[in-house]
Chains A and B, each alone.
Chain A
């Protein structure tokens, strides 16, 4: 059995055991968020940066009080940004509010319906952020050329989408994902579009270093149970990858010997 303590991976200069990264959006309440995250075993957790609700209920807990930067690696995202400048501004605010924590998830969107990334703006933002000492984990398409370019710019991880954010469709082009993995020198984390456990396993079987998901857990009928399923799915897929799968064959290959038949 794989000792997952030994199969760690490195993003920027930090080492992680869990290859499941989770978002904190779309849950019924903060308690469910916390329970799902705990069940998932995730160490890296994404958050969004938004206006404080001035005059809100003072009893409402802050997310970071419940999901503490002392216990988790917080990964602020630039969700909702449609241009590089806004995304960069968001990253600066995130770094300020997290006391200099420079790890960010860069996403620059192009289209409201598909939430596909704007690659030109993403490349531009990535370059500026890397030059400003941010450690950028970048959301992108499954285009292997762009994935490599983002790595060359200096992103610490490249995160190709499986399918549109929140679509739950699973990996749409496994050949592209495999190609990205084969050419990468930084962690490749499938981000967006995972729907159920097998989707996560497939990502890991393709050789990905991890999977980032939010909706797949939060919108499951039983999010806590799905978080548990995803944790196992990632481990199963990783073990299958490390085990080296059998080749696919066009025709049958019998599992029982011919010799010694009594008929």
Chain B
């Protein structure tokens, strides 16, 4: 199914959890995840399922003033 990930269209398997997405993306370091403008706490990564059309934002800290 299709979702919007960081502004771009992205395909995930049906019934994909946030944890699976993280594994697929091979994310490392410190990041935070929002789905439809709701922050998903780390404790919910394995339970929270992604739905078709979800708008997902994954952010990290970068250089800034």
| Residue A76 interfacial (CB < 8 Å) | yes
Contact of A25 among B27, B41, B63 (CB under 8 A): B63
Chain B residues in 8 Å Cβ range of A46:
64-65
Which of B25, B30, B59 contacts A51, CB < 8 Å?
B59
Decide yes or no: A93 and B65 within 8 Å by CB, A49-B60, A51-B7, A65-B29 being known contacts: no
Q: Report yes or no: A25 in contact with B57, Cβ–Cβ below 8 A.
A: no
Q: Are B60 and A33 in contact (CB under 8 A)?
A: no
Residues of B within 8 A of A58 (CB): 26, 28
A24-63 interface bits toward B, Cβ cutoff 8 Å, 1 = contact, 0 = none: 1111001001000000000000111111101000100011
Residues of A within 8 A of B26 (CB): 58
Residues on the B chain within 8 Å of A92, using CB: 39
On chain B, the residues within 8 Å of A98 by CB distance are 30, 61
Using A97-B32, A98-B30 as known contacts, say yes or no to A26 and B63 having CB atoms under 8 A apart: yes
Does A24 contact B64, Cβ atoms closer than 8 Å?
yes
Q: Is B54 an interface residue (CB 8 A)?
A: no
Tally A residues with Cβ within 8 Å of B: 38
The chain A residue sitting closest to B27, CB to CB, is: A52
Partner of B65, one of A26, A65, A74: A26
Q: CA A33 – CA B61 in complex, angstroms? A: 14
Q: A144 interface residue, CB < 8 Å from B?
A: no
A residues in contact with B10, CB < 8 Å = 54
Do A23 and B31 contact each other (CB < 8 Å), given the known contacts A49-B59, A96-B39?
no
Q: Can you name 7 A-B residue pairings with CB atoms under 8 Å? A: A47-B63, A51-B58, A52-B58, A64-B60, A93-B59, A214-B64, A214-B65
Tell me whether A64 and B65 are in contact in the complex, defined as CB-CB below 8 angstroms, given that A51-B6, A93-B39, A96-B39 are known contacts. Answer: no
Q: What residues on B are CB-neighbors of A215 within 8 Å?
A: 65
Contact A52 to B61, CB < 8 A, known contacts A92-B39, A93-B39: no
- Chain A CB within 10 A, most for which of B8, B10, B25, B64: B64
Question: Any chain B CB within 8 A of the CB of A119?
Answer: no
Q: B21-65: which have CB < 8 Å to A? A: 25-32, 34, 37, 39, 41-42, 57-65
Q: B5 at interface (Cβ–Cβ under 8 A)?
A: yes
Inter-chain contact B6/A48, CB cutoff 8 Å: no
| Cβ-defined partner of A52 (8 Å) among B8, B31, B37 | B31
In the complex, A215→B64 CA distance in Å?
A: 10
Task: Tell me which residues across on chain A come within 8 A of B41, comparing CB atoms.
Answer: 96
* CB contact under 8 A between A97 and B60, given known A51-B6, A54-B25, A62-B29: yes
